[in-house]
Amino acid sequence: MESRTQKSARNYFYSIVSQVLLQVIKFITVTAFLKTFGADYLGIDNLFVNLLTVISLADLGLASAMAYSYYGPLAEGNEEKLAALTTYFQKVYRGIILLIGIIGLLVMLLLPYIVKLDTEIPHLRVYYILALLNTMLSYICAYKATVLTADQNGYMLTRIDIVANILMAIVRLFVILVFKSYFLFLLTAVIRTILGNVAYSIVSDRQYSFISEKKALSETERKEVIGAVIPSFVNKFCDVMGNTTDYLLTSVMIGTLTVGYYANYSTIQKIATLPYTLLTSAITSSVGNLISSEDGDMRYEVYQQVRICGFISCAVIIPCYSSLVGSFIKLWAGDEYVLTMSVLAAICINMFTLYYEQTLLPFHDAMGLFRYTKKIKLIQAFLNLGLSILLGHLIGFGGIILASALSRLMTSGWYVPKIVFAKCFSRSPAKYLRDYIFSGAYTCLLSLVCIFIVYLFNIKTWMGWICEAIGILSFCIILTLPIASRMKGSEGLVSKFHIIFSKRV
- Predicted confidence (pLDDT) per residue in 337-393, tens digit: 999 999 999 999 999 998 888 888 888 877 778 788 888 888 998 899 999 999 999
Mean pLDDT, residues 140-146 taken together: 82
pLDDT at 145: 80
State the Cα–Cα distance between residues 319 and 224, nearest whole angstrom: 45
pLDDT at 135: 92
Residues in Cβ contact with 453 at an 8 Å cutoff, skipping those fewer than 6 apart: 323, 472, 475
pLDDT bracket for residue 149 (50, 70, 90)? confident
The amino acid at residue 313 is: S
The alpha helices in 56-153, defined as continuous H runs, are 62-76, 79-108, 111-114, 124-137, 142-150
pLDDT at 19: 73
Dihedrals φ, ψ of 318, to 5°? Answer: -65, -45
Mean pLDDT, residues 103-116 taken together: 92
pLDDT at 290: 66
pLDDT bracket for residue 59 (50, 70, 90)? low
Percentage of the chain beyond pLDDT 70 is: 88
Q: Pick the residue with more confidence: 204 or 343?
A: 343
Total residue length of the chain: 505
Mean pLDDT, residues 447-451 taken together: 97
Mean pLDDT, residues 53-74 taken together: 72
HSE-CB of 416 using CA atoms within 13 angstroms: 28
Nearest Cα neighbor of 405 from 467, 482, 352 is: 352
- Predicted confidence (pLDDT) per residue in 69-105, tens digit: 787 788 788 888 888 888 888 888 898 899 899 999 9
Residue 220, helix vs strand vs coil: helix
State the Cα–Cα distance between residues 366 and 384, nearest whole angstrom: 26
Mean pLDDT, residues 49-71 taken together: 73
pTM of the predicted model, to two decimals? Answer: 0.81
Torsion over CA: 416, 417, 421, 427 (sign): negative
State the Cα–Cα distance between residues 157 and 317, nearest whole angstrom: 28
Nearest Cα neighbor of 380 from 210, 173, 242 is: 242
Angle at 460 between CA 458 and CA 465, to 5 degrees: 85
pLDDT at 234: 73
The b/e string for 431-467 (b: 16+ C-beta within 10 A; e otherwise) is bbeebbeebbebbbebbebbbeebeeeebeeeeebee
Q: Are the C-beta atoms of residues 380 and 242 closer than 8 Å to each other?
A: yes
**Extents of the domains making up the chain:** 1-217, 262-371+412-498
Average pLDDT in the chain: 85
State the Cα–Cα distance between residues 124 and 55, nearest whole angstrom: 18
pLDDT at 504: 46
State the Cα–Cα distance between residues 488 and 112, nearest whole angstrom: 54
Mean pLDDT, residues 24-36 taken together: 89
pLDDT at 437: 95
Mean pLDDT, residues 174-186 taken together: 95
**Would you say residue 175 has pLDDT above 90?**
yes
pLDDT bracket for residue 505 (50, 70, 90)? very low
Angle at 277 between CA 154 and CA 145, to 5 degrees: 20
Q: Are the C-beta atoms of residues 97 and 140 closer than 8 Å to each other?
A: yes
Q: Are the C-beta atoms of residues 117 and 40 closer than 8 Å to each other?
A: yes
Nearest Cα neighbor of 447 from 353, 358, 321 is: 321
pLDDT bracket for residue 159 (50, 70, 90)? confident
Residues in Cβ contact with 297 at an 8 Å cutoff, skipping those fewer than 6 apart: none
State the Cα–Cα distance between residues 240 and 235, nearest whole angstrom: 9
Nearest Cα neighbor of 151 from 257, 10, 264, 333 is: 10
